[in-house]
Structure 1
Amino acid sequence: MNIKKHIPNLITLVNLFCGCVAIVFVSEQNYEMAFYMVCLGIFFDFFDGFFARFFKVSSPLGLQLDSLADMVTSGVVPGYVMFSMFTNSAHELGTNPLIPFLGFLITLGSCYRLANFNIDTRQTDSFIGLPTPANALFIISLQVVLDMYGDASLLILEILTNQWILLVITVFSAYILNAEIPLFSLKIKKFNLKNNALQILFLLGSVILVLLLHYIAIPLIIIFYVLLSVVNNKFLKK
């Protein structure tokens, strides 16, 4: 029995488990723990592919398992978080009980992206559209920021409890997941400054933001990642 070929799939299933636990925490409105569980799931999501390549045991089964696990951790969880944000916010869009379910547009957008990713041969060294893990961190961090700083900052409270703003974020999230926008990958294949300058700039900027702003840095880092990719695309075209 070749144990090595099962290691990546087991790691993928741990990612799925983290997503399931995160859903429980969201249902209990413990968004900080849900955020940590999603971060842990994303960590395992990175290493399942790493070990599959390291052991040379990549398989179609592993590819499908990876997408199914991501669908829960990076698709269902952020959709559920946005549903909760709509539920707990002021009712600018009206009191229709169906309005909070608009949050699951994020889940639908994530599902479409994951299915498309499996058949898109262009996304081997970079991404087309925002990866679902990055989008999940962005959405979940908004609720964490609201919990942590909403009482101290009227601006944060007004922005993240406004249903119109939440709707714009939701629609944009579903769009950016599937937009035809090339985004650079953080994978480092050659250990030299020239080939990794963009990744190093992003990582340094991210560390500085985290040190200065803590949880508020998370959504800003995702925005920084998209903007840096767009600027990089402009330079590549020139």
Structure 2
Amino acid sequence: MKKNIPNFITLINLFLGCCALASIMYGQFVQAFFFSLASGVADFLDGTMARLLKVKSDFGTQLDSLADMVSFGVVPGAILYILLVKGFSGREVLPIELTLAAAPAFLVTLFAAIRLAIFNIDECQSENFIGMPTPSVTMFCVGLLLIYHFDSFGMGSLVTQPYFLYPVIALLSWLMVARFPMFGMKFKSLSWEGNEIRFIFAASALLMMLLLREASFSLIVLAYILFSTIDNYVLKH
């Protein structure tokens, strides 16, 4: 029985990802945020439970990737697609032209699939990551969705503009498959030594959430990239 507990949590992740996708389709962007947040928690818990119960399996690994493909592959692509459609609204374009203009958003989905396939066969990513993990990509995209919805700092229009989103799509796609080390948030212990970058990042993320609220989530991901760069090229040298 206990061997199925992590798999059940993985299915919850998949279910919540589907709910997030449906919420995006119907314009319920705040609801989509909470579903995506919950799916991220479930994604963290399934692996944690598998390790605690010592029931890791090949089946669980494959199921986890399939769930992640929806929650952290299709969902961010759908968000970027919707934002691009918003950016092109009001212009005199045919429906097929609008679809083709917004379709590059799903490059993120394609590269997420590549990223997840690499992760499954790369034994070097048990504690830290090589390339940006797909949940971080989703968090960044959900953050853009909230900025649009609340028009945070007057940037609601900016995050729908093609000249902003096309480079974002290219950057996110590249970061997922780049051989760029990024630290994981798995604490082996609560001691400061060996966890310095994790504690500093966690404190910075909390501060940004308190000060910037809905506008913080995309910035937290940018901070994650910055802290990973510092960790790789400053602290480790």
What TM-score do the two structures reach when normalised by structure 2? 0.94
Using the TM superposition, give the Cα deviation of residue 187 of structure 1 relative to its aligned residue in structure 2, in angstroms: 0.3
Using the TM superposition, give the Cα deviation of residue 228 of structure 1 relative to its aligned residue in structure 2, in angstroms: 0.6
DSSP 3-state at the match of 2:132: coil
Answering whether residue 28 of structure 2 is matched by residue 26 of structure 1, we say no
Q: Which amino acid aligns with 1:104?
A: F
Which residue does 1:181 correspond to in 2? 180
Q: Which amino acid aligns with 2:178?
A: A
Using the TM superposition, give the Cα deviation of residue 159 of structure 1 relative to its aligned residue in structure 2, in angstroms: 1.9
Using the TM superposition, give the Cα deviation of residue 92 of structure 1 relative to its aligned residue in structure 2, in angstroms: 11
Q: Is the 8 A contact 1:16 1:69 kept in 2?
A: yes
Selected match of 1:109 from 111, 116, 123:
111
Q: Is the 8 A contact 2:149 2:156 kept in 1?
A: no
1:134-181 Cα offsets, whole Å, 9 max, x none, are 11010121011111125x61xx13421211211111111111111111
Aligned positions of 1:161-176 closer than 5 A = 161-176=160-175
DSSP 3-state at the match of 2:194: helix
1:13-52 Cα offsets, whole Å, 9 max, x none, are 0000001111110110111111110110110110101110
Q: Is the 8 A contact 1:91 1:163 kept in 2?
A: no
Which residue does 2:147 correspond to in 1? 145
Selected match of 1:89 from 87, 90, 93:
87
> CA distance change for structure 1 residues 182 and 93 in 2, over 3 Å: closer, same or farther?
farther
In structure 2, how many angstroms separate the alpha carbons of the residues matched to 1:90 and 1:140? 19
> CA distance change for structure 1 residues 158 and 149 in 2, over 3 Å: closer, same or farther?
closer
Q: Which amino acid aligns with 1:26?
A: I
- Which 4+ stretches in 1 moved above 3 angstroms? 90-95
Q: Is the 8 A contact 1:92 1:162 kept in 2?
A: no
> CA distance change for structure 1 residues 158 and 25 in 2, over 3 Å: closer, same or farther?
closer
Aligned positions of 1:70-81 closer than 5 A = 70-81=68-79
Identity %: 35
Which residue does 2:123 correspond to in 1? 121
Q: Is the 8 A contact 1:19 1:37 kept in 2?
A: yes
The root-mean-square deviation of aligned C-alpha atoms, in Å, is: 1.7
Q: Which amino acid aligns with 1:48?
A: D
Q: Is the 8 A contact 1:184 1:229 kept in 2?
A: yes
Q: Which amino acid aligns with 2:17?
A: G
Q: Which moved more, 1:189-198 or 1:45-54?
A: 189-198
In structure 2, how many angstroms separate the alpha carbons of the residues matched to 1:133 and 1:114? 11
What TM-score do the two structures reach when normalised by structure 1? 0.94
Selected match of 2:41 from 34, 40, 43:
43
1:32-87 Cα offsets, whole Å, 9 max, x none, are 11111011011011010111011100000000000000000011011011111111
Which residue does 2:220 correspond to in 1? 221
| Number of aligned residues | 233
Gaps of 5+ in 1: none
Aligned positions of 1:199-214 closer than 5 A = 199-214=198-213
